[in-house]
Amino acid sequence: MEGKIRANLLMCAGTGCVASGTPKVKAALQEELQKRGLADEIKIVLTGCNGFCAEGPVMLVYPEGIFYQKLTVDEIPKLVEEHFLKGRPYEKLMFREPEKKTAIPTMNEIPFFKHQVLRVLRNKGLIDPENMDEYIARDGYLAAAKALTEMTQADIIKTVKDSGLRGRGGAGFPTGMKWEFASKSVADQKYMLCNGDEGDPGAFMDRSVMEADPHSVIEGMIIGAKAIGASKGVIYVRAEYPLAVKRLQLAIDKCREAGLLGENILDSGFTFDLEIYLGAGAFVCGEETALMRSIEGKRGMPRPRPPFPAHKGLWDKPSVLNNVETLAQIAPVILHGAEWYKTLGTEKSTGTKVFALTGDIKNVGLVEVPMGIPLRTIIYDIGGGMKNKKKKFKSVQMGGPSGGCIPEILIDIPVTYEDVVKTGAIMGSGGMVVMDEDTCMVSTSKFFLEFTADESCGKCTPCRVGTRVMLDMLTDITEGRGKDGDIETLQDLSRDIISTSLCGLGQTAPNPVLSTIRYFRDEYESHIKDNWCKAGICRKLCSFHIFEDLCKGCGACLRGCPQQAIAGEKKQPHRIIQELCIQCRSCYDTCKFGAIKIGPAGCKDIKAMRELLEKVKEVKG
Amino acid sequence: MARLTIEDLKKIKEKQKSTFSLREGGYRAKITVHMGTCGIAAGAREIMSALLDEIALAKVEDVITTTSGCAGLCAREPMATVEILNRPPVKYGDLTADKMKEIFREHILGGNPVEKYALAVGSETTY
């Protein structure tokens, strides 16, 4: 247990202060506190930018609220002695003239920025991605220089292993171990590969990294190549990312000119060159063996493992394939060391993870957070909650077509590889699709299965036929042809497909179905038994009704109805003419008073509707 | 470009740092228009050309413009970051060409951030 904390030191770790020395000052401060035996009672916390970048590094001491500026390593012993031992503020570094306060909030005051810590996205929005010098100015290629001249292969692998870095493509395999396997393989040629074939619906973090900071990926690859002993590399990017391809190519050209790629890099004697391969957009090519076949010019289809790519990969030579986000983290790990990397995250999931937030959420965007942060913080603080404030959160889909839906009851889980897997979803590449109460979970799982059934390469039967059969069943359920026992059949089929498919695509394709059945079984049941899609998404399984006591007669629904199916006088309750209604939902979305309710298919009687809704409430209550 | 050595990396870093901090570069302000796919799709190019027009019109030479990738808050694109010498950076969101022009006149020429369009001041935690 931690003892009583007597003071919190909020050190600014904004870009400006880090550049002017926060990491060094923090280390010195920590050492000094340790030396004086104060480490247990005084806690150092890193924060976002204070806005006083010109006077950085800066630090705010709580509870006193004293603000120190222009900190240096040399001043630290004096400061600790004065302030924390003798208990009087160290005036020399104290902030004096209060600056005119503007009404614009600082990054620390905005939840979207406050909870983020940037490592992968360290250059996000700061550098011109087409200008290599700007990357170099932010410590670019210093890690490569260190790895090539001061470290052995074993040193690099040990650092990456010790850092606990795990593959950010989805499976979370330890990166250092992958490198170790490949480094031990003996061959005349090895390959270092980068997976930029980002295919999950709703995921866009790899694209952003390649667009905003292409050199960080290249630097990671140079270091990886040295670690495993590869002299050639390929970045596999989908052709749908033209801007990423353009910026990567520019970066590669610049590196060749500057001797950062090619022979004798930085006069270290190490040779490594790199090219881009454009993928045609098949989802299965994100799977490693299929990706390698695709680079060889063959049809992108997976093959059974073993042999693993670390022994037989591209052109049957030992190869390592890492995700874009993984590679972008390598340079800081090498530069600052494994211990630094582990300061964020949990024991088994170290560091930070980038998430692409989309769906019914207010702040759609790209965020990077320390592992272990509660899911709730990501959705409500960073994401700003639901886009439509009146709607309730229902579920968040993580891991794309291989993942699952996490329901509201589990929203307080910490986001780590292990905890997310327990829910039936996976960390995946980091797509988070947020859904509000107007989402039909059966349709959602059908959407993902449509995707995987479509993208199945067809090589193995369980995936090719199995996903199709499941999709047909889900289509039946959403169109009112569901039968008793369908849910169980879906579960059985899922288990078979998972256990017998050849590659990750088939082995994970049923996950969205399984997880929605697990948490939203009642929705499947009401689709099948009551012909009732309570969210009003499945057109054949719903009817719309206006409750007279709630209707103000404003006429908004009447004006929006494409079928003229709504009748009523101004300021008098309206009603829907069921025979004309096509369940387009426009009245439901327009009504500001919540007077329109969704009933089961074919329900004509409002009275029956009320009774039904009451019953549902009782059961749920 | 000549082949780089490790010494060169450090030199470039120092040289760039001085331009980054504006001070030694002799610049008074730097405007970064965020041009990732999301920004471009939301109209960042128009913002950029409006800005360049304004700069040409005002005939100022101590202002630099640059582009960068996605700033993260895709929902509020197009975005731009304005940095004035010795001031923390200010991020603007939901921009239009007209808003950019107003920001140029008020903030870059006048020195007063346009509060109604500003999202935040400062930079993010990078550690």
**Residue B12 covered by a domain:** no
| Cα-Cα-Cα-Cα dihedral sign, residues A386, A595, A555, A607 | positive
Query: Which is more confidently placed, A133 or A3?
Result: A133
Q: What is the mean pLDDT of residues A163-171?
A: 91
Closest-CA distance of chain B to residue A55, Å: 9
What pLDDT is attached to residue A62? 80
> Out of A45-59, A89-103, A553-567, which region has the weakest mean confidence (pLDDT)?
A89-103
Angle CA A229–A231–A234, to nearest 5:
115
Interchain contact, B4 vs A260, CB within 8 Å:
yes
- Count the residues in chain B: 127
Angle CA A288–A297–A293, to nearest 5:
20
Task: Measure CB to CB from residue B121 to each of A106, A243, A365 and give the nearest one.
Answer: A106
Interchain contact, A107 vs B13, CB within 8 Å:
no
Task: Find chain B residues with C-beta within 8 A of A365's C-beta.
Answer: 72-76
Interface size between A and B, measured as CB pairs under 8 A: 188
Taking alpha carbons only, the member of A414, A340, A338 closest to residue A374 is A414
Task: Find chain B residues with C-beta within 8 A of A129's C-beta.
Answer: 68-69
Angle CA A277–A331–A421, to nearest 5:
75
Interchain contact, B1 vs A257, CB within 8 Å:
yes
Fold adopted by A132-339: Rossmann fold (3.40.50)
B43 pLDDT higher than 90: yes
What pLDDT is attached to residue A487? 97
Segment 15-74 of chain A within 8 Å of chain B by CB? 15-16, 18-19, 22-23, 46-54
Q: What does CATH list as the number for A542-620?
A: 3.30.70.20
Task: Measure CB to CB from residue B6 to each of A22, A204, A266 and give the nearest one.
Answer: A266
Task: Measure CB to CB from residue A133 to each of B12, B34, B76 and give the nearest one.
Answer: B12
Q: Which long-range contacts (CB under 8 A, 24 or more apart) does A62-67 make?
A: A62/A7, A62/A8, A62/A9, A62/A10, A63/A7, A63/A8, A64/A7, A64/A89, A66/A94, A67/A94, A67/A95
| DSSP secondary structure letter of residue A600 | -
**Residue B78 covered by a domain:** yes
What pLDDT is attached to residue B54? 93
Instruction: Residue B111: count other Cβ atoms within 10 Å of its Cβ.
Output: 12
Q: What are phi and psi of A187, to 5 degrees?
A: -165, 160
pLDDT digits (tens, 9 = 90+) for A421-462: 999 999 888 899 999 999 999 999 999 999 999 999 999 999
Interchain contact, B125 vs A243, CB within 8 Å:
no
All structural domains of chain A with their residue ranges: 7-109, 132-339, 352-439, 442-530, 542-620
Task: Find chain B residues with C-beta within 8 A of A260's C-beta.
Answer: 4
Question: Is beta strand A393-398 parallel, antiparallel or unpaired with respect to A404-407?
Answer: antiparallel
| Cα-Cα-Cα-Cα dihedral sign, residues B105, B108, B110, B112 | positive
Fold adopted by A442-530: de novo design (two linked rop proteins) (1.20.1440)
Interchain contact, A54 vs B88, CB within 8 Å:
yes
| Largest Cα span, chain A | 85
pLDDT digits (tens, 9 = 90+) for A362-408: 998 889 999 999 999 999 999 999 999 889 999 999 998 999 999 99
Q: How confident is the model at residue B20 (pLDDT cuts 50, 70, 90)?
A: low
B47-75 burial by CB neighbour count: b if 16+ within 10 A, else e? bbebbeebbeeeeeeebbebbbbbbbbbb
**Residue B105 covered by a domain:** yes
CATH number at residue B42: 3.40.30.10
What pLDDT is attached to residue A482? 94
Task: Find chain A residues with C-beta within 8 A of B126's C-beta.
Answer: 13-15, 18, 117-119, 122
- Count the residues in chain A: 621
Q: How many domains does chain B have?
A: 1
**Residue B14 covered by a domain:** no
**Residue B126 covered by a domain:** no
**Residue B10 covered by a domain:** no
Task: Find chain A residues with C-beta within 8 A of B3's C-beta.
Answer: 258-259, 267
A124 in reach of chain B (CB within 8 A): yes
Q: Contact A56/A69 with Cβ under 8 angstroms? A: yes
A122 in reach of chain B (CB within 8 A): yes
Task: Measure CB to CB from residue B124 to each of A118, A134, A259 and give the nearest one.
Answer: A118
**Residue B41 covered by a domain:** yes
CA-to-CA distance for A90 and A68, rounded, in angstroms?
A: 8
Average model confidence (pLDDT) across chain A: 91
> Side chain identity at A146, as an amino acid letter?
K
**Residue B4 covered by a domain:** no
Domain A7-109 in CATH: superfamily?
Glutaredoxin (3.40.30.10)
Angle CA B92–A344–A45, to nearest 5:
70
SS (H, E, C) chain B: CCCCCHHHHHHHHHHHHHHHCCCCCCCCEEEEEECCHHHHHHCHHHHHHHHHHHHHHHCCCCEEEEEECCCCCHHHCCCEEEEECCCCCEEECCCCHHHHHHHHHHHHHCCCCCCCCEEEECCCECC
Question: Domain span at residue B114?
Answer: 26-121
Angle between helices A461-478 and A486-500 (to 10 degrees): 160
A1 pLDDT higher than 50: no
| C-alpha radius of gyration, chain A, whole number | 28
Q: Contact A77/A93 with Cβ under 8 angstroms? A: no
What pLDDT is attached to residue B25? 66
pTM of the model: 0.88
Q: How confident is the model at residue A51 (pLDDT cuts 50, 70, 90)?
A: low
Interchain contact, A259 vs B37, CB within 8 Å:
no
A2 pLDDT higher than 50: no
Give the contacts of A253 (CB within 8 A, at least 6 positions apart).
none
CA-to-CA distance for A173 and A320, rounded, in angstroms?
A: 12
Angle CA A33–A36–A41, to nearest 5:
55
Quick one: closest CA in A to B77, which residue? Answer: A365
What's the order of all strands across the beta sheet hosting A273-279?
A273-279, A232-238, A191-196, A319-323
Q: What is the mean pLDDT of residues A46-52?
A: 73
A23 Rama class: left (phi>0) / alpha (psi -120 to 50) / beta: alpha
Residue to mutate among A150, A211, A254, A364, with most B CBs inside 10 A, is A211
Fold adopted by A352-439: Ubiquitin-like (UB roll) (3.10.20)
A292 pLDDT higher than 80: yes
CA-to-CA distance for A357 and A432, rounded, in angstroms?
A: 5
Quick one: closest CA in A to B30, which residue? Answer: A126
A618 pLDDT higher than 80: no
Give the contacts of A45 (CB within 8 A, at least 6 positions apart).
A8, A9, A10, A11
Q: How confident is the model at residue A620 (pLDDT cuts 50, 70, 90)?
A: low
